[in-house]
Amino acid sequence: MAQLVLLAGKDRSLAHRHPWIFAASVDGLRGRARPGDTVDVVAANGRPLARAAWSPASKIRARVWSFDPQEVIDDAFFKRRVQAAVQRRQLMPELRGQDGVRLIHGESDGLPGLIADRYGDTVVLQLTATGPEKWRSAIIAALQRATGCARIYERSDSDVRRLEGLEPVSGWVLGEAADEALVIAENGLRLKVDIVAGHKTGFYLDQRDNRLLTRELAAGRATLNCFCYTGAFSLQALAGGASGVLSIDSSAPALATAVDNLALNPQLDASRAEWREADVFAALRALKAEGRHFDLIILDPPKFAPSGAHAERAARAYRDINVFGFRLLKPGGLLMTYSCSGGIRSEHFQQIVADAAVSAGCDARILRRLAAPPDHPVALHFSEGEYLKGLLCQVD
Ligand code: SAH
């Protein structure tokens, strides 16, 4: 096995069990390795530290499989890690009985570069790095064994694959599409999931708990849901008795699915739902100009800052929508505002929201800090895993 030798003094983050080895920490590779091959990571003095997947094209030159330098990385390793991740989902009461669950959350489940989401009897797999790419068949076998699912679809089409020198890959790897559309139940609602063309693996599982909170807060409230995607927050607001829900997204296919989703839930009062295909930045200004006001506003934008390098521009975009969020609230109104940018830390996000309130001339307080549910665990030593943060604020 080839050895990846670190520069002197560059073994600290590894000692803290952070799984990424950046190019700037690497002295060189001793021996030969192809992309995805397992390499022995050693300190400058030759001390063995870990076993990792080699990724010569990426700035993240290797991702650690195991901090035990003796652990054998083979099919059985993936069987163990996948099994442990699937079992972990049984621990938390709110995950039991859910149709849509993230089964594997990459680094935080000890499987860097691997995402797997279960929607009913279908697992959607996403490989974003050379390591899992090399072990694709072992991973698929392990997932099938751990879940008993008969269908596995691959959605390895995320942009980050390019950074690893990998081409996009999509398609069925086990079984085939069912005749009927894939529909999951989430906290009492039926929701269509388009695993082939939808965003990410088809759905935003990470907002499950926050959507439930929306339902609990929505009674009698005029609600605005910005960046609504397929309408899951909107439908929970309706289920909670919102007096009306205006939902905005720029994606026509997402809105079409949202309308289908409303029809799938005939218990909801469809006359209270209004859908608008628009750019949220422009729509918020238009709503202000129209003199509209709301009791509950949800801002769940896409990832404006995929990494720290985009943080400054992203901060301006977050600030902009939050200023309008505050301006459009009635007295006593609630703002649920989120950032899913890995490049923006939670303290920074809070500062942005605080500045937005000042610009809007509002006094507000945080009622609750919001995060992803427990099927998106955060490894203690991998703070990047805590990408989704939100604030529930109330204005005076
Ligand atoms: N809240 C959703 C997930 C939102 S994902 C849920 O719970 O499922 C972000 C959404 O923002 C996507 O649907 C995308 O189409 C939309 N979007 C991105 N940029 C936008 C813009 N400038 N204006 C309106 N929608 C936008």
What's the average model confidence in pLDDT over 197-210?
97
Per residue in 206-232, pLDDT (tens digit) is: 999 999 999 999 999 999 999 999 999
Residues in the chain: 396
The pLDDT value given to residue 329? 98
Q: Is the pLDDT of residue 255 over 80?
A: yes
What's the average model confidence in pLDDT over 171-198?
96
Q: How far is CA 191 from CA 80, 166, 291, in A?
A: 32, 32, 33
Ligand 1 mutation pick, 211, 250, 299, max ligand atoms within 8 A of CB:
250
Q: Is 340 a catalytic residue?
A: yes
**Catalytic hit among 149, 226, 228, 340:** 340
Per residue in 236-249, pLDDT (tens digit) is: 999 999 999 999 99
Ligand 1 centroid, distance to 137 Cα (angstroms): 33
Question: At 4, is the pLDDT very low, low, confident or very high (cuts 50, 70, 90)?
Answer: very high
Contacts of 158 (CB under 8 A, 6+ apart): 126, 128, 200
The pLDDT value given to residue 279? 98
Q: Are 37 and 53 in contact (CB under 8 A)?
A: yes
The pLDDT value given to residue 7? 98
Residue 108's nearest CA partner among 391, 317, 380, 327 is: 380
Nearest ligand 1 atom, CA 302: 9
What's the average model confidence in pLDDT over 15-42?
97
Q: What is the mean pLDDT of the chain?
A: 97
The pLDDT value given to residue 307? 78
Query: What global pTM score does this model have?
Result: 0.96
Largest CA distance in the chain: 70
Pocket of ligand 1 contains residue 300 by CB under 6 Å: yes
Report the nearest-CA residue for atom 12 of ligand 1. 229
Burial class (CB in 10 A: 0-12, 13-18, 19+), 29: middle
Q: How far is CA 52 from CA 67, 79, 189, in A?
A: 9, 17, 42
Per residue in 67-118, pLDDT (tens digit) is: 999 999 999 999 999 999 999 999 999 999 899 999 999 999 999 999 999 9
The pLDDT value given to residue 308? 77
Portion of the chain with pLDDT greater than 70, in percent = 100
Task: Please state, in angstroms and rounded to a whole number, the distance separating the CA atoms of residues 4 and 11.
Answer: 12
- DSSP secondary structure string for all residues of 221-252: -EEEEES-TTTHHHHHHHHTT-SEEEEEES-H
b/e sequence 206-218, b meaning 16+ C-beta within 10 Å: bbbbbbbbbbebb
Pocket of ligand 1 contains residue 250 by CB under 6 Å: yes
Pocket of ligand 1 contains residue 392 by CB under 6 Å: no
Per residue in 114-133, pLDDT (tens digit) is: 999 999 999 999 999 999 99
The pLDDT value given to residue 343? 86
Ligand 1 centroid, distance to 90 Cα (angstroms): 30
The pLDDT value given to residue 305? 81
Pocket of ligand 1 contains residue 254 by CB under 6 Å: yes
Question: At 306, is the pLDDT very low, low, confident or very high (cuts 50, 70, 90)?
Answer: confident
Per residue in 142-158, pLDDT (tens digit) is: 999 999 999 999 999 99
Helices 280-290 and 311-327: crossing angle in degrees, nearest 10, is 20
Per residue in 338-376, pLDDT (tens digit) is: 999 988 999 999 999 999 999 999 999 999 999 999 999
